[in-house]
Structure 1
Amino acid sequence: MSKPTRGMRADGEQTRSRILEAAGPLFAAHGYAETTSKAIAEQAGVDLASINYHFGSRSGLYQAVLTEAHGRVIKLEALRQLADSSLPPADKLRRLIETLIDTALSDGVWHARILARELLAPSSHLKVLLDIEVQPKLAIVARILSELTGIPLGDPALLRCIVSIAAPGLMLLVAGNGLPGPAQLVRQMPRDEIVAHMHRFALAGLEAVGRAHTQSGKSEAQAT
C-alpha cells in the first residue's frame, strides 16, 4: 500500500514544480494582473483545478513564485554557510556583492525579471515575501556586517549598512526592466569591474561607519 502513496506524492511534487516553472516566466513577462490561471495551466499542461489544489489560488501561486525567485538568488542555507565559513569578513562581503550583481545582470532568467517587476510596482505580496524570505536572510547578512564593522547585532546602524550595500544592486536589477538612466550604462560594463567597484565602495563605507561607531562609544564612555 505504501508504493502507490509514494508514487502519488512524487507525481504531485512534479505537477507543483511544473506549474511553478510555467508561472514564473509568465508572471515575469506580463505581471500578476495580466497573467491568467488559464494561461498558466495551458503552459504547464495541467487543468485549472491543479493550481488551486497545489497553491490555493492564483494569488497563492504568485506568492510561491516570488518565494522561489528569491530563493534562486540565494538560499537561506547557502547564506548561513557563508556566514559560518572561515573566510575573512571582507571575502564574505564580496561573495554577497557577487550574488547581488549576478542577479542584477541576469536578464535572461525569469526570477531576476519578476523580482525587478515587483520592486518597480510593489504589490501586497511583497510584504509577505519580505517577512518569509527576506527577513531571515537579512539577519544573517547583519552578522557578516557586524564582523566587518564591530557594530553589535541589533544596532540600527547595521540595518542602514544593509540598505546602503543592497541599494546599488537593486537599482541595477530594476534597470534591467528598461528603467532609463545611468544605471543602464553601468549594466553594460564588465561584471568583474562592477563587483570590484561595489566591493571597494562598500568596504570603505563600512570601515568609516565602524570607526564612527567606535568613536561614539568612546565619547559616551568618557562622558559618564
Structure 2
Amino acid sequence: MNNQTPHRNSASQRKTHEDHHDTRSQILRVGGQLFAEKGFDRTTGKEICARAGANTAAINYYFGGMEGLYTTVLLEAHRQLFTMETLSAIVAAEVTAQAKLEAVILQLVDAFTEPSASSWMLRVIGREIVAPSPFLSFFSEQEVMPKCVMLKGIVAELVGLPEEHPVVTRGAFFVIAPCIMMLINDRETLKLLYPNFGFEKSDNADIVRQMMQFVLGGLAAVVAAEVKLES
C-alpha cells in the first residue's frame, strides 16, 4: 500500500495542475470574448467567472485582478496574430528585404483568411485601437513597438535609407495600415462591402502579390520624389 502512495500523489498533482491550466485558459478565453463584445469598462469579473464556470476569486488568483486579465488578453491576442519569434526569424533570414517584407505580409494575410479571423482575438485588438483603454501604452511597449522597430528595419533595407528617416517611418506605417484594417474589421461587413476581395486561403497568393505591388510601387515613387527634392 505504501509503495503506491507516491504514484497516487504524483497523479493527483498532475490532475490539479491540468485543472488549474484549464481554468486559467477558460477565463482567458471568456474574458477575451466579453472584452471584445463590451470593452474593458463594461465587463465585470463576476460576469466572466459565471460564463467560465469558475469561482469568483479565480481572476484574482490567476491574473491578479481585472487589469491583469485584460493586459494578458491583449498580449495573447497580439501574439496569436504575429509572435516576436516569427518576426525575428523573418528579419534574421538571409534573403532580400523584399522577400522579408513579403513574408511579413503573407503572415498577416494568412491570419486574415483564417476561418477564425472574426474571433475575439482580432476583435479585442480592434476595439483597443478604436477606443483605447488605459492599458494601451503597456500593450504597445510590450508587443507593438518592438515589432514596429523590426518592420522599420526591413523597410530601411528595402529603400536604402536610415531607419530614422521619415520616409522609412511613414513607409512602415503605409505597409502595416492596410493589414490592420483587414484584420480588425468585421468579416461579414467586409464581405458585404467588397464581395470579390477574396476571403479564402486560396486567395492568399493573389492578395499578397497585389499588396506587394502596391507597397513596392508606392515606396519607389516616394523615394524617387524624396531624392528629387533633396537634389
TM-score normalised by L of structure 1: 0.81
- Decide whether the 8 Å contact of 1:70 with 1:115 is kept in 2: yes
Which of 86, 98, 101 lines up with 2:106 in the alignment? 98
DSSP 3-state at the match of 1:48: coil
One-letter amino acid of the structure 2 residue matched with residue 62 of structure 1: Y
Which residue is equivalent to 2:209?
196
The count of aligned residue pairs is: 216
DSSP 3-state at the match of 2:121: helix
* Structure number with larger C-alpha Rg: 2
TM superposition shift of 1:86: 2.2
Following the alignment from structure 1 to structure 2, what is the Cα–Cα distance between the partners of residues 184 and 93? 29
Following the alignment from structure 2 to structure 1, what is the Cα–Cα distance between the partners of residues 226 and 163? 13
Query: Is 2:217 the counterpart of 1:207?
Result: no
Following the alignment from structure 1 to structure 2, what is the Cα–Cα distance between the partners of residues 57 and 177? 32
Which residue is equivalent to 1:185?
193
TM superposition shift of 1:188: 4.7
Following the alignment from structure 1 to structure 2, what is the Cα–Cα distance between the partners of residues 187 and 175? 14
Query: Is 2:57 the counterpart of 1:49?
Result: yes
TM superposition shift of 1:172: 2.5
TM superposition shift of 1:135: 0.6
Which of 66, 84, 91 lines up with 2:74 in the alignment? 66
Q: What percent of counterpart residues are identical?
A: 34
Following the alignment from structure 1 to structure 2, what is the Cα–Cα distance between the partners of residues 131 and 120? 18
Query: Is 2:164 the counterpart of 1:154?
Result: yes
TM superposition shift of 1:14: 4.1
Following the alignment from structure 2 to structure 1, what is the Cα–Cα distance between the partners of residues 226 and 136? 32
1:85-132 CA-partner distances (Å, limit 9, x unpaired) = 123221221221223334445543221111112222222222221111
DSSP 3-state at the match of 2:57: helix
Pair 1:214–1:96, CA change in 2 (3 A): same
TM-score normalised by L of structure 2: 0.78
Which of 23, 28, 32 lines up with 1:20 in the alignment? 28
DSSP 3-state at the match of 1:87: coil
- Decide whether the 8 Å contact of 2:118 with 2:186 is kept in 1: no
- Gapped runs of 5+ residues in structure 1? 220-224
The worse-fitting range, judged by mean Cα deviation, of 170-179 and 148-157 is 170-179
Following the alignment from structure 1 to structure 2, what is the Cα–Cα distance between the partners of residues 188 and 36? 40
Pair 1:121–1:38, CA change in 2 (3 A): same
- Gapped runs of 5+ residues in structure 2? 1-5
When the two chains are superposed, the root-mean-square deviation of aligned CA atoms in Å is 3.1
TM superposition shift of 1:42: 2.2
